[in-house]
Amino acid sequence: MPFTPIHMGPGILIKALLQSSFSLMVFGWTQIVMDIQPLIVLITGEGHLHGFTHTYVGAVLLAIFSALTGKYFSELGLRVLGIDKYQPISIVWWVAFLSAFIGSFSHVFLDSIMHTDVEPFYPVTLTNDFHGMVSVTLLHKLCMYSGFVGALIYYVVNYRAFKT
């Protein structure tokens, strides 16, 4: 499903573990960019639902695009929300690229497990050995639980940092 928030669960956990070395906003932007092509297919009824954008070759290209645009969108969003008034945040390029690559590669991997039409290693092979690795229900639970655990870790780490 395009723009699924389920992909954000692992991103929240990664943010908790990497802290300022990871941008959850660029990661989230990458999730949206990854699913624009499936959204177009759903609207028009034409094309391969999880086509080129859901391959690792496509993920590389979309990660580069997402990092280049996501850094600026994230900084603009933080300014609009007024967050930069309290804590100056500037996403450095390597953080933007790391976040976008983690976002695009994890997106392909998670969708490969869930969707039969994903061909993650195209053009080398059309097979998808990840499909059915775990049930869709378990996959959703793992993604949601990773988000809860990540939020808890992030809160504890940052709360303790402000208390000391």
Taking the C-alpha atoms of residue 73 and residue 77, their distance in angstroms, rounded to an integer, is 6
DSSP state of 54: G
Taking the C-alpha atoms of residue 77 and residue 90, their distance in angstroms, rounded to an integer, is 12
Mapped onto helix, strand or coil, the DSSP state of residue 67 is: helix
What type of residue sits at position 119?
E
Give residue-wise pLDDT tens across range 115-153: 999 999 999 999 999 999 999 999 999 999 999 999 999
Question: Higher confidence at residue 89 or residue 113?
Answer: 113
